[in-house]
Structure 1
Amino acid sequence: MTQVRDVLPQPWKGVNLGGWLLLEPGPSFPLFTHHLLKDKSQARCEWDLMKVLYEKLGKAGAAEVIRSHRETHITKADFERVRSYGLNAVRLPFGYWIISQPRPREPYMGPALEYVDRAVAWAEELGLQIVLDLHGCPGGESPEAPCGRRQRPESRWDWRHWDFAASLKILQLLAKRYCDRSCVTGIAVCNEPCGVIPASNLISYYSRAVDTIRKAGMHESRVAVVLPIFQRPEGEEAFIAKWAKTTQGRHRNVCFDVHCYHCFENQFHGKTFAEQLRAVEENSKMFQRYPMVAGEWALGLGRATWCTCGDMDEDTVISIFGAQQMEAFRNSSHGSFFWNWKEDPEDKEWNFQLAYEQGLLNRPALALPPWDHTGEDPLEDILHPSPEDPVVYYGLSVCTEESTQKAFIFHEAWPCKEPRRPVKHRDIVRIQGHNKHFVAVTSLLARAFSPLMALQVPDPTLALQLLRLERYVATSAPKHQKRYFFSRATSTTIDADDEADGIFARWADFGDWQAITVERPPELQRAVALPQPLPQPRPRRRTKGHKENNNILLE
Structure 2
Amino acid sequence: MGVLSKVAALGAFAGLATAWLPETNKKIQSNDGKNLFTSSNGKIRGVNLGSQFIFEPWIGTSEWNSMGCGSTGSEFDCVSSLGQDAANSAFQKHWGDWITQDDISEMVSYSLNTIRIPVGYWLREDLVYSDSEHFPQGGLDFVKKVCGWASDAGMYIIMDLHGAPGAQTPGNAFTGQLASEPGFYQDYQYERALKFLEWMTGLIHSTDEFRNVGMLEIVNEPVQDDDKASSMRQNYYPKAFERIRANETSAGIDKADYLHIQMMDKLWGSGDPNQYIDDLYYAAYDDHRYLKWDTSVDASHDSYISESCSDNRDSNTPTIVGEWSLAVPDDVESDSDWDPKSQTDFYGKWFAAQVHSYEKQQGWVFWTWKAQLNDYRWSYQDAVKAGVIPKDLSSLQNVCN
Partner of 2:106: 81
For residues 315 and 358 of structure 1, the distance between their equivalents in structure 2, rounded to whole angstroms, comes to 8
1:339 Cα deviation from its structure 2 partner: 1.0
- Residue 53 of structure 1, aligned match among 82, 95, 108: 82
If each structure's helix is expressed as a fraction of its own residues, which one has the higher value? 2
Q: How big is each residue's C-alpha offset from its partner over 1:315-374, in whole Å with a ceiling of 9 and x where there is no partner?
A: 1121111110111121122x2111111211512111111101222123413135xxxxxx
User: Residue 34 and residue 115 in structure 1: after superposition, are their counterparts in 2 closer, same or farther (change >3 A)?
Assistant: closer
Work out which structure has the larger RCO, using CA pairs closer than 8 Å and 6 or more positions apart in sequence. Answer: 2
CA contact (8 A) 1:35 1:52 kept: no
For residues 212 and 156 of structure 1, the distance between their equivalents in structure 2, rounded to whole angstroms, comes to 24
For residues 257 and 72 of structure 1, the distance between their equivalents in structure 2, rounded to whole angstroms, comes to 28
For residues 30 and 344 of structure 1, the distance between their equivalents in structure 2, rounded to whole angstroms, comes to 7
- Residue 246 of structure 1, aligned match among 276, 279, 300: 276
Structure 2 counterpart of 1:221, one-letter code = A
User: Residue 220 and residue 297 in structure 1: after superposition, are their counterparts in 2 closer, same or farther (change >3 A)?
Assistant: farther
Partner of 1:366: 399
Partner of 2:96: 71
How do 1:378-417 and structure 2 match up within 5 A? none
Secondary structure of the 2:378 match is: coil
Q: How big is each residue's C-alpha offset from its partner over 1:159-196, in whole Å with a ceiling of 9 and x where there is no partner?
A: 43881111011010111111255411111111111112
For residues 365 and 42 of structure 1, the distance between their equivalents in structure 2, rounded to whole angstroms, comes to 46
If each structure's strand is expressed as a fraction of its own residues, which one has the higher value? 1
CA contact (8 A) 2:237 2:277 kept: no
Partner of 2:200: 174
Partner of 2:136: 109
Partner of 2:115: 90
For residues 95 and 44 of structure 1, the distance between their equivalents in structure 2, rounded to whole angstroms, comes to 16
For residues 337 and 3 of structure 2, the distance between their equivalents in structure 1, rounded to whole angstroms, comes to 37
How do 1:22-421 and structure 2 match up within 5 A? 22-34=54-66, 42-54=71-83, 59-101=84-126, 102-104=128-130, 105-143=132-170, 144-151=172-179, 154-155=180-181, 157=183, 159-160=185-186, 163-180=189-206, 181-196=210-225, 198-204=228-234, 205-217=236-248, 221-222=256-257, 223-229=259-265, 232-233=268-269, 239-240=271-272, 243-248=273-278, 250-264=279-293, 266-267=295-296, 270-283=298-311, 285-287=312-314, 290-302=317-329, 303=331, 313-333=342-362, 335-344=363-372, 346-362=374-390, 363-367=396-400
Structure 2 counterpart of 1:273, one-letter code = H
Partner of 2:50: 18
Secondary structure of the 2:324 match is: strand
Gaps of 5+ in 1: 369-555
Partner of 1:530: none
For residues 358 and 107 of structure 1, the distance between their equivalents in structure 2, rounded to whole angstroms, comes to 39
Between 185-194 and 207-216, report the one with greater CA deviation: 207-216
Structure 1 counterpart of 2:386, one-letter code = Q
Q: How big is each residue's C-alpha offset from its partner over 1:366-422, in whole Å with a ceiling of 9 and x where there is no partner?
A: 135xxxxxxxxxxxxxxxxxxxxxxxxxxxxxxxxxxxxxxxxxxxxxxxxxxxxxx
Structure 2 counterpart of 1:340, one-letter code = T
Q: Given the two structures, how large is their TM-score scaled by the length of structure 2?
A: 0.76
User: Residue 219 and residue 111 in structure 1: after superposition, are their counterparts in 2 closer, same or farther (change >3 A)?
Assistant: farther
Q: Given the two structures, how large is their TM-score scaled by the length of structure 1?
A: 0.56
For residues 183 and 298 of structure 1, the distance between their equivalents in structure 2, rounded to whole angstroms, comes to 25
For residues 202 and 110 of structure 2, the distance between their equivalents in structure 1, rounded to whole angstroms, comes to 31
- Residues paired across the two proteins, number: 346
1:92 Cα deviation from its structure 2 partner: 0.9
User: Residue 279 and residue 367 in structure 1: after superposition, are their counterparts in 2 closer, same or farther (change >3 A)?
Assistant: closer
1:146 Cα deviation from its structure 2 partner: 0.9
User: Residue 367 and residue 279 in structure 1: after superposition, are their counterparts in 2 closer, same or farther (change >3 A)?
Assistant: closer
For residues 267 and 359 of structure 1, the distance between their equivalents in structure 2, rounded to whole angstroms, comes to 30
Secondary structure of the 2:290 match is: strand
For residues 129 and 61 of structure 1, the distance between their equivalents in structure 2, rounded to whole angstroms, comes to 34
CA contact (8 A) 1:192 1:230 kept: no
User: Residue 220 and residue 201 in structure 1: after superposition, are their counterparts in 2 closer, same or farther (change >3 A)?
Assistant: farther
Secondary structure of the 1:301 match is: coil
For residues 43 and 177 of structure 2, the distance between their equivalents in structure 1, rounded to whole angstroms, comes to 32
For residues 158 and 226 of structure 1, the distance between their equivalents in structure 2, rounded to whole angstroms, comes to 18
Gaps of 5+ in 2: 5-20, 24-41, 391-395
Identity of aligned residues (%): 21
1:265 Cα deviation from its structure 2 partner: 6.1
User: Residue 20 and residue 245 in structure 1: after superposition, are their counterparts in 2 closer, same or farther (change >3 A)?
Assistant: closer
Secondary structure of the 1:92 match is: strand
Secondary structure of the 2:372 match is: coil
Structure 2 counterpart of 1:225, one-letter code = I
Secondary structure of the 1:30 match is: helix
Q: How big is each residue's C-alpha offset from its partner over 1:467-503, in whole Å with a ceiling of 9 and x where there is no partner?
A: xxxxxxxxxxxxxxxxxxxxxxxxxxxxxxxxxxxxx
User: Residue 206 and residue 245 in structure 1: after superposition, are their counterparts in 2 closer, same or farther (change >3 A)?
Assistant: closer
1:199 Cα deviation from its structure 2 partner: 3.6
User: Residue 308 and residue 113 in structure 1: after superposition, are their counterparts in 2 closer, same or farther (change >3 A)?
Assistant: closer
Q: Cα RMSD over matched residues? A: 3.1
CA contact (8 A) 1:32 1:49 kept: no
